[in-house]
Amino acid sequence: MAERLEAKHKGGTFLAARKIEFGDNADPAEVCFERGWSDGLPVTPPTDARVLRMLKGTTRNPDEIVGKIPPYLAPCTIEKVAINAVMAGCKPEYMPVLLAALEAALEPVFTLHGVLATTYFSGPVIIVNGPITKTIGMNSGINALGQGNRANMTIGRALNLIVRNVGGGKPGEADRATLGAPSKIGLCFAEDESDADWEPVSVARGFKRGASTVTLFQGHGVEAFVDQKSRTAEGLSKSFATHLVRMGHLRLTQSARAVVVLSPEHYRIYKEAGWGRREIEKALYEATTRPGREILAGTDGIGEGVPASRAGEMIPKFHDDGIVVVRAGGPAGLFSGVLPGWLAGRNKTELQLVTKEIK
Amino acid sequence: MTQMSMNWMRDPTAETTSVKRARLAPPPSLVGKTVGLFDIGKTRTDEFFNQVEMRLQERGIKTKRVGKPTNAKVATPENLAKISAEVDVVIIGLSD
């Protein structure tokens, strides 16, 4: 009741977004579909009461402009973020994570316009670190990349709804994905930081242990990697490499990054060998570096590949910072996940992962 | 009969009414025009545009290679302004 009264008396003067009216006989969820505000799933109608409640999740002013959202570079206020967060199903306490994710996505090296417009599968993948993951109840365990957790499911969705609704990015228009991927609806999860020996991705990217961060990656997924028999760190790394070299195409090289979502059972093999993030990422980079002669264009009638002039070279599959390991997953299963990156990054500096502290 | 009341939601969009600009009419002929071949930064652009350029030149049409450095990023307004000053029409080719 208090919220309804507040909405009645405050909403009209406090909120700046224009009102979209509908009659008693209209179903508000259907109105949202008809207006093109949905990614194809139902959205929560952004009533004044809900938007006001969402704004309580941040101390920032509703009229502050966070940035310009591609593709049409429309200025986006905190209030518009809150409206789209309501629609995605977020709780107010997710707002700081969503705002950090949006700011990360708007960094030029994230190339959000390109990620939206590309014919490739990619979308923004959000990895959350630090104590906020516990505060808002994110999942880094069983089914971390799947359904069932509200924060995991709605934060990524809200970011994509902002691109759709504020930025105007829609499939078939500026979004030219040949096939797309379910992860373009939203893919967000927390890293498992329960093992003090493990260096979380946030720390590897320059933040203090205990800081809450978002790391954004241009990717999609998830691809399944299965190895139930390797028992040494060296063997498991070579095994991982047999999967990683196939990303996009076995013979494509030097064009991308990948996030390896390392499950607890696979991690245990590395931990027992005394390996941490640096050793694993280095081993995977080396094991995915191949003699050019094995991946020449035209052999076996396959057009893809490197030119014959590179036959004598050792050619890396990834950039030297291109394999990023993140820990997540349930306790049982010698499976890990691979989130392939956007293949546009032929020059390693032109698009990169972006990490921001959540404040 | 009760009067229907109105409810409302808040607009999640940028509230920009899209005003579609009319496209320029295509020129009746390319004779005497310069056709810009716009490289969007993909790897095999040369293979594709070499063929297009050959076909245009067989017809006596002037061409000029223009473009942007990477397909990961949009062309800058300055780059587009420069190109529009240099050519009359543009062909943009996707070439992987």
pLDDT exceeds 80 at position B4: no
Q: Which residues on chain B are in Cβ contact (under 8 Å) with A45?
A: 9
Using 50, 70 and 90 to split pLDDT, how confident is the model at A2? low
Contact A166, A80 (CB under 8 A): yes
Q: Tell me the DSSP string of A247-300.
A: SS-TT--SSEEEEEEE-HHHHHHHHHTT--HHHHHHHHHHHTEEEGGGGBTTGG
Q: What is the pLDDT of residue A246?
A: 96
Q: Return d(Cα A81, Cα A177) in angstroms, integer.
A: 25
Q: At A57, list the tokens.
A: 């999740």
Average pLDDT over residues A275-301: 97
Q: At B27, list the tokens.
A: 């020129």
Using 50, 70 and 90 to split pLDDT, how confident is the model at A11? low
Query: Which member of A75, A87, A344 has the closest CB to residue B71?
Result: A344
Contact A59, A93 (CB under 8 A): no
Q: Which residues span the domain enclosing B58? A: 39-93
pLDDT exceeds 80 at position A240: yes
Q: Report the SS3 class of residue A162.
A: helix
Q: Which residues on chain B are in Cβ contact (under 8 Å) with A19?
A: 8-11
Span of A24-33, A343-352, B15-24, B74-83 with lowest mean pLDDT = B15-24
Q: What would the pLDDT profile of A76-96 be if each residue is shown by its tens digit?
A: 999 999 999 999 999 999 999
Contact A335, A243 (CB under 8 A): no
pLDDT exceeds 80 at position B23: no
Average model confidence (pLDDT) across chain A = 95
Span of A47-61, A131-145, B19-33 with lowest mean pLDDT = B19-33
Q: What is the pLDDT of residue B21?
A: 53
Q: Which residues on chain B are in Cβ contact (under 8 Å) with A345?
A: 72
Range A223-232, long-range pairs (CB < 8 A, 24+ positions): A223/A247, A223/A337, A223/A338, A223/A339, A223/A340, A224/A335, A224/A337, A224/A338, A225/A260, A225/A335, A225/A336, A225/A337, A225/A338, A226/A334, A226/A335, A227/A266, A227/A334, A228/A334, A230/A269, A231/A269, A232/A269, A232/A273
Q: What would the pLDDT profile of A268-278 be if each residue is shown by its tens digit?
A: 999 999 999 99
Beta bridge partners of B93: B39
Average pLDDT over residues A152-178: 96
B7 within some domain = no
> Between vectors from CA B26 to CA B20 and to CA B27, what angle results, nearest 5°?
145
Contact A159, A243 (CB under 8 A): no
Q: Which residues on chain A are in Cβ contact (under 8 Å) with B4?
A: 23-25
pLDDT exceeds 80 at position B6: no
Question: A with B: how many residue pairs have Cβ under 8 Å apart?
Answer: 98
Q: Which residues on chain A are in Cβ contact (under 8 Å) with B9?
A: 19-20, 22, 28, 31-32, 45-47
Tokens 């993909």, residue located:
B42
Query: Which member of A37, A47, A74 has the closest CB to residue B14?
Result: A74
Q: What is the identity of the amino acid at A253?
A: T
CA distance A169 to chain B (A): 11
The answer to whether the Cβ–Cβ distance between B9 and A346 falls below 8 Å is no
The answer to whether the Cβ–Cβ distance between A23 and B7 falls below 8 Å is yes
The answer to whether the Cβ–Cβ distance between A161 and B70 falls below 8 Å is no
Q: What is the pLDDT of residue B42?
A: 84
Q: At A175, list the tokens.
A: 């979004």
To test the contact with chain A by mutation, choose from B1, B2, B5, B10 the residue with the greatest count of A C-beta atoms within 10 A, namely B10
Report the helix count and the strand count for chain A, using DSSP H and E. 12, 13
B16 within some domain = no
* Number of independent structural domains in chain B: 1
Closest CA to A174 of B39, B35, B18, B67: B18
**CA-to-CA separations, B14 to A42, A68, A155, A178, A215, in angstroms, rounded:** 20, 10, 20, 27, 26
Query: Which member of B7, B11, B94 has the closest CB to residue A18?
Result: B11
Query: Which member of A31, A51, A161 has the closest CB to residue B10?
Result: A51
Contact A160, A70 (CB under 8 A): no
pLDDT exceeds 70 at position A10: no
pLDDT exceeds 50 at position B20: no
pTM of the model: 0.86
Q: What is the pLDDT of residue B74?
A: 82
Q: Return d(Cα A94, Cα A220) in angstroms, integer.
A: 22
CA distance B27 to chain A (A): 26
Beta bridge partners of B84: none
Q: What is the pLDDT of residue A300?
A: 96
The answer to whether the Cβ–Cβ distance between A87 and B16 falls below 8 Å is no
CA distance B5 to chain A (A): 6
Q: What is the pLDDT of residue B75?
A: 84
> Between vectors from CA A209 to CA A207 and to CA A213, what angle results, nearest 5°?
55
The answer to whether the Cβ–Cβ distance between A113 and B73 falls below 8 Å is yes
Q: Which residues on chain B are in Cβ contact (under 8 Å) with A173?
A: none
B72 within some domain = yes
Q: What is the pLDDT of residue B80?
A: 87
Q: What percent of chain A has pLDDT over 70?
A: 96
CA dihedral for B83, B84, B88, B92, sign (positive or negative): positive
The answer to whether the Cβ–Cβ distance between B9 and A74 falls below 8 Å is no
The answer to whether the Cβ–Cβ distance between B10 and A346 falls below 8 Å is no
- The residues near A206 (Cβ < 8 Å, ≥ 6 apart) are A355
The answer to whether the Cβ–Cβ distance between A22 and B9 falls below 8 Å is yes
Domain boundaries, chain A: 2-219, 223-340
Q: Which residues on chain B are in Cβ contact (under 8 Å) with A72?
A: 14, 16
Residue B20 CB coordination number (10 Å): 5
Using 50, 70 and 90 to split pLDDT, how confident is the model at B73? confident
